[in-house]
Structure 1
Amino acid sequence: MVRGKTQMRRIENATSRQVTFSKRRNGLLKKAFELSVLCDAEVALIIFSPRGKLHEFASSSMHETIERYRKHTKDVQSNNTPVVQNMQHLKHETASLAKKIELLEVSKRKLLGEGLGTCSINELQQIEQQLEKSVCTVRARKMQVFKEQIEQLKEKEKTLAADNAILLAKYDVQPRQESPEDGGNLTSTTENSENSDVETELFIGPPEKRFKRIMEK
C-alpha cells in the first residue's frame, strides 16, 4: 500500500496530533544522536510538547552547548554591527545623492527652457538672472581668449621679424626702399605718357586730307 503525502498543516484531531508528535519526536532525537556519533558534532536539541513538557538531547553538556551558542551569536552580532552601520550610512548617502541628482536634472531642464509650466514668477526671474550671469561669464571668458590669442600672434610676429633680420644679416641683403629719384622719374614718365598723343586711328586717303583732318581736331 502506497503511503500518501502528508500535508504540512496543523492536525485538527488531538489524538492524531499527539501520536504524530510522539513518533516524529523520537525520530528527531534518533537523528540528532546519529549525527553526533557519525559526524563527531556537538548537537543540542530542545523540544517542548504542546502540553509544555520538555524533551531534550545533548551530545555533551546542554549548558555548555547553550553558552557556546550565546557566545558565538554575540560575537557574530558584534562583528556585524560595523558592517550594518556602514551599510545604513551608504544607503542614506546614496538616497541623498540620488535626490541631489534629481534636483540638478530639474534645474538643468529649466535652464534649457523645458518644464517651465509649473514655475512661479519668482522662479522665472531667478532663472533669467542666472542665465544673464552665465552669459556675462561666457562673454568675459571669450574676450580673455581673444586677448590671449592676440598676444600669441604678436609674439609670433616678433619672432618672425627677428628671424627675418637674422637671415638678412646673414646673406648681407638690405631691405629695398623707394628713393625720391625713382619717385620723380615715375612721375615724369606718367606725365609724359599723359601728355603724349599717339595717333592710332587708321586713315586711308591722300596725305593732304589726313593733315586737314588733324588740324580740324
Structure 2
Amino acid sequence: MTRKRIQIKKIDNISSRQVTFSKRRKGLFKKAQELSTLCDADIALIVFSATNKLFEYASSSIQQVIERRSQCSGIHRLEHLPIEQFMQFESDSNDTLRKKVEEKTHELRQLNGEDLQGLTLHQLQKLEEVLKRSLASVSRVKDEKFMQEISTLKRKEVELIEENQKLKQVPSLTQYGQRQSLESTISSSSYLLEEDGSDTSLKLGLPLLQ
C-alpha cells in the first residue's frame, strides 16, 4: 500500500505543524550531514522556526561557511562589473591601502620619538603608556632568554665536570697498564738471560793473550 502524498501547503493545526517541523528539520540536517560526508562538501544550514527559535547545522563552522559565501559573492560581483567600475574599485582600494600605510608609518615614527610636536597632552600620555607596555614585554622576554641561557650554561658545566672526572680516571688506568707491561718485559728478559747462560758480570782490563 503506497503512502499518501501530503499536499505541500501550510499546516493549519499548530500542534501538527510543530511535530512536522521537528521531524522534517531532523531529516533535513541528517541529509545535509550525509551529503557532506559522501561528497566532502562544506555545508551550513540555518533554520528559524515559527516561534523564532534558531536551529543550525554546519559540517565545519557556520561562521567559516558564511565568510566563504561572502568572499565568493564579492568575487562574483567583481567579475560582472563593467571595466570602468572595476578600475574605479581598484583605485579606491589602492587609495585606502595608501592611507593605511601612511597612518601606520606616522604611528611608527611617533613610537620612535619623531613628529611629536602636533600631539596633545592626552595623546602623548597614551603614547607613553603604549611604550611602557612595549618595554615591559621586551624586558619580560629578555629575562626569559637570560634564564634559558643560564640554564643552558649550568647544564654544560655539569657535563664538563662529568667529562673531566672521566678523563682523570683514564691516565691511572694507562699507567697501571704500562707498569704491568714493563714488569712483564723485565721478567721475560731475565728469563732469557738465565736460559742462555751468558756471563753478564762486568770485567775490567785488556783481555788476556793466548
Question: TM class by shorter-chain length?
Answer: 0.3 to 0.5
Structure 1 length normalisation: TM-score? 0.39
Structure 2 length normalisation: TM-score? 0.40
Q: Which structure: larger Rg?
A: 1
